[in-house]
Structure 1
Amino acid sequence: METALTRLVGVRHPVVQTGMGWVAGPRLVSATANAGALGILASATMTLDHLRDAVREVRSRTDQPFGVNLRADAADAGDRVRIIVDEGVRVASFALAPSRELIAELKEAGVVVVPSVGARRHAEKVADWGADAVIVQGGEGGGHTGEVATSVLLPQVVDAVDIPVVAAGGFHDGRGLVAALAYGAAGIAMGTRFLLTSDSTVPDAVKARYLAATVRDVTVTTAVDGMPHRMLRTDLVDALERAGRTRTFARAVRRAAGFRRLSGLTWSRMIRDGLAMKHGRDLTWSQVLLAANTPMLLRSSMVDGRTDLGVMASGQVAGVIDDLPSCEELIARVMRESRETLDRLAGPGVSIPH
């Protein structure tokens, strides 16, 4: 299926696997790329050396295009951009809107720039700055999310910008792909659906928690880092929502210390990253620390399998997913379902007035 997205990034199918921290590593990204979709490597949880090694590992596993996701507000974003350019990565995606300067540096090197946004005005801004495409996540999406549903936000953005728009938030099958195309999108991006594949390195016990979830078990909370965060409701989430400031601060310090050791970041760098997320928001110091080390909370679940100590970011689609296909099986299924849906819409018995 050829769309503006497939032509732009050089993949066979208009499907993107999002850059989920601790989840979107070389194995998942290369499996996605080999299946004909666009895999995005998550770099925010990697050191610079780890990022370079991860890019090279993906390259050793596939000759297909892939991308790297960056935190635009990270103090070392420029260093990560240079790794992307040096290693010849095809696509750079951003969790927050990148600066005009970063976009220009990437485009000058021939890298396709695809920021993720959650509002029309953000899409308009990055389009004006030269972004090649944009991923638009509606409120159904996992992780940090907004309040506007994909079905409302997507057509707003499609009408507002002249670059390819990729729809995210609530997608998991071929029917969703056709719906996104009908709204004017050039493809779909999926996170939770790719997390729940056999190629994902997330521990089996954690995957089982996702598969057991209903749509009512996926909640939005501000208790983790002060910002709306969609995740599975767990005992930890309940405890964070009930905890007082003193207890929350002590827990935040402990987790921040753990993430600092793991990432190699200094305390000052972590605080700067936390304050960057605090900008324009009324966050407590506990939330600033939690914002800086939210990756540690995710790692506890996504790597260590400790769902009692970590959080599990999740889109609402977790409540309707019940299997663990390979990436190859998933993409083949999505494309088959999309063709069947299109055939059904155009088939006998359908009357379209002129």
Structure 2
Amino acid sequence: MSRINTALTRLLGINTPVISAPMAGASGGKLAGEVSAGGGFGFIGASYRTVQQLQEELLLARSVLQLQNEPTASLPIGAGYIVWQLEKVGKEVLSVALEQRVQAVWFAFGDNIGSWVRYVREYDSQPGRNHKTLVFVQVGSVEDALVAMTDWKVDVIVAQGNEAGGHGFASSPPLLTLVPSILAVVPKNGPLVIAAGGLSGGNHVASILALGAAGVVLGTRFLLTPESQYQDVQKKAIIAAKANSTVRTMTFDRVRGTLGWPEGVDGRALYNDTVKDLDAGVDFQVVKEKFDDGVRREDPDRFLAWAGTGASLMSEIKGAKDIVRELHDDAIANLKAASELISDK
């Protein structure tokens, strides 16, 4: 397999500058391991797991990558954390990932991200540790990127545009605005900048690389894999999505009671009657009861399916390793086609 040579592929030792997002309830060890085995880099969504559950997912990833007999070897996947949730459950759920020598951790959504970055650095500085964990931090603005770079000295800045599925800052600009804005303030010797939000195919990968980013993050595309922990009915709902099927909302956090997000954060999901009813002023308790019943009945008009704006461009469920290779090949084809636009005549 050829290599797309970017600062990200060199940093991680991978062939393809494609990362699967750490999606809560969807990104487990099987998915992360298969993405990494395919030449990309996979993250486990760690935030809502117990220490034991995360340990099991990490061991599963190690098995997928055929490292089960090398417990002290670096594990070429990452673990992603929602910081306000991490602070509720405690540092042990982070420590277990560090003990397993994950190659990277990802922090997002919290007022004390810097303290967790320091925790990772201090953990790695222990005598005999001999392992550096790369730190990714997700941002939605130039201001947050500057803090991540200057104050926290992170390794990778994840620029998340408004198009992204799942949680993000409602005020984040579109990706094609956000990425150049952040790149304009990050020096060449600064942290890498990668892009997330609404991306679906190799043409998107090529376009983001052409903007100057070192790599891309895809979430929704990796929901549509056998390895994803999303339910089949959720996957089918995403495949049926149209161009205007997603919406940014806090409705699903309200009905599920998953509140605690920093100010300005909401989530992008498939629009359905749960959102419609709450927006129309239907009594909250009625909406919640219908949502809970819809989850039990697997009703797409009621249940939650996080998804980005690129969902309408996805039409099939495919293995994670195959998706990485398809993205790789298509990105190369698009980069080569773009180069043919240049002429000396």
- Specify the TM-score bucket, using the shorter chain as the normaliser: 0.7 to 0.9
User: How far, CA to CA, are the matches of 1:42 and 1:300 in structure 2?
Assistant: 22
Q: What is the deviation of 1:241?
A: 2.1
- Say yes or no: does 1:11 pair with 2:17: no
Q: 1:51 to 1:199 in 2, by over 3 A?
A: closer
Q: 1:306 to 1:70 in 2, by over 3 A?
A: farther
Q: Secondary structure at the match of 2:43?
A: strand
Unpaired runs of 5+ in structure 1? Answer: 256-295
Q: What is the deviation of 1:58?
A: 1.3
User: How far, CA to CA, are the matches of 2:344 and 2:27 in structure 1?
Assistant: 43
- Map 1:94-173 to 2 at 5 A: 94-96=107-109, 99-108=113-122, 109=124, 110-128=132-150, 129-145=152-168, 146-147=170-171, 148-161=173-186, 162-173=190-201
Q: Secondary structure at the match of 1:41?
A: strand
- Say yes or no: does 1:206 pair with 2:229: no
- The answer on whether the counterparts of 1:10 and 1:65 sit within 8 Å (CA) in structure 2 is no
- Map 1:39-50 to 2 at 5 A: 39-50=42-53
User: How far, CA to CA, are the matches of 1:17 and 1:352 in structure 2?
Assistant: 39
Q: What is the deviation of 1:21?
A: 1.1
User: How far, CA to CA, are the matches of 1:43 and 1:138 in structure 2?
Assistant: 22
Compute the RMSD of aligned alpha carbons: 2.6
Q: What is the deviation of 1:250?
A: 8.0
Q: 1:249 to 1:309 in 2, by over 3 A?
A: same
What is the aligned partner in structure 2 of residue 271 from structure 1? none
Please list the CA deviations of residues 4-40 of structure 1 after superposition, one character each: whole Å capped at 9, or x if unmatched. 1122223221100001111101221111111111111
Q: What is the deviation of 1:243?
A: 4.0
Please list the CA deviations of residues 127-155 of structure 1 after superposition, one character each: whole Å capped at 9, or x if unmatched. 12121111111011111233410000011
* Structure holding more helix per residue: 1
User: How far, CA to CA, are the matches of 1:130 and 1:77 in structure 2?
Assistant: 23
Q: TM-score, normalised by structure 2?
A: 0.81
- The answer on whether the counterparts of 2:272 and 2:302 sit within 8 Å (CA) in structure 1 is no
User: How far, CA to CA, are the matches of 1:124 and 1:26 in structure 2?
Assistant: 32
User: How far, CA to CA, are the matches of 2:198 and 2:97 in structure 1?
Assistant: 29
Q: What is the deviation of 1:196?
A: 1.3
Unpaired runs of 5+ in structure 2? Answer: 68-74, 125-131, 255-264
Q: What is the deviation of 1:309?
A: 4.9
Equivalent pairs, count = 306
Q: TM-score, normalised by structure 1?
A: 0.79
Q: What is the deviation of 1:319?
A: 1.1
Q: Secondary structure at the match of 1:229?
A: strand
User: How far, CA to CA, are the matches of 1:249 and 1:352 in structure 2?
Assistant: 67
Q: Secondary structure at the match of 1:2?
A: coil
What is the aligned partner in structure 1 of residue 103 from structure 2? 90
Q: What is the deviation of 1:78?
A: 2.2
**Aligned-partner residue type, residue 158 of structure 2:** I
User: How far, CA to CA, are the matches of 1:225 and 1:202 in structure 2?
Assistant: 17
Q: What is the deviation of 1:176?
A: 1.1
What is the aligned partner in structure 2 of residue 180 from structure 1? 208
Q: 1:340 to 1:106 in 2, by over 3 A?
A: same
- The answer on whether the counterparts of 1:143 and 1:231 sit within 8 Å (CA) in structure 2 is yes
- The answer on whether the counterparts of 2:165 and 2:219 sit within 8 Å (CA) in structure 1 is yes
Q: What is the deviation of 1:249?
A: 5.8
What is the aligned partner in structure 1 of residue 127 from structure 2? none
User: How far, CA to CA, are the matches of 1:70 and 1:330 in structure 2?
Assistant: 24
Q: Secondary structure at the match of 1:224?
A: helix
- Say yes or no: does 1:22 pair with 2:25: yes
Q: Secondary structure at the match of 1:215?
A: coil
What is the aligned partner in structure 2 of residue 232 from structure 1? 270
- The answer on whether the counterparts of 2:199 and 2:310 sit within 8 Å (CA) in structure 1 is yes
User: How far, CA to CA, are the matches of 1:131 and 1:215 in structure 2?
Assistant: 35
Q: Secondary structure at the match of 2:36?
A: helix
Q: Secondary structure at the match of 1:90?
A: strand
- The answer on whether the counterparts of 2:39 and 2:325 sit within 8 Å (CA) in structure 1 is no
What is the aligned partner in structure 1 of residue 93 from structure 2? 80
- The answer on whether the counterparts of 1:222 and 1:228 sit within 8 Å (CA) in structure 2 is yes
**2:310 counterpart (317, 320, 324):** 317
User: How far, CA to CA, are the matches of 1:249 and 1:121 in structure 2?
Assistant: 38
Q: What is the deviation of 1:216?
A: 1.0
Q: Secondary structure at the match of 1:21?
A: coil
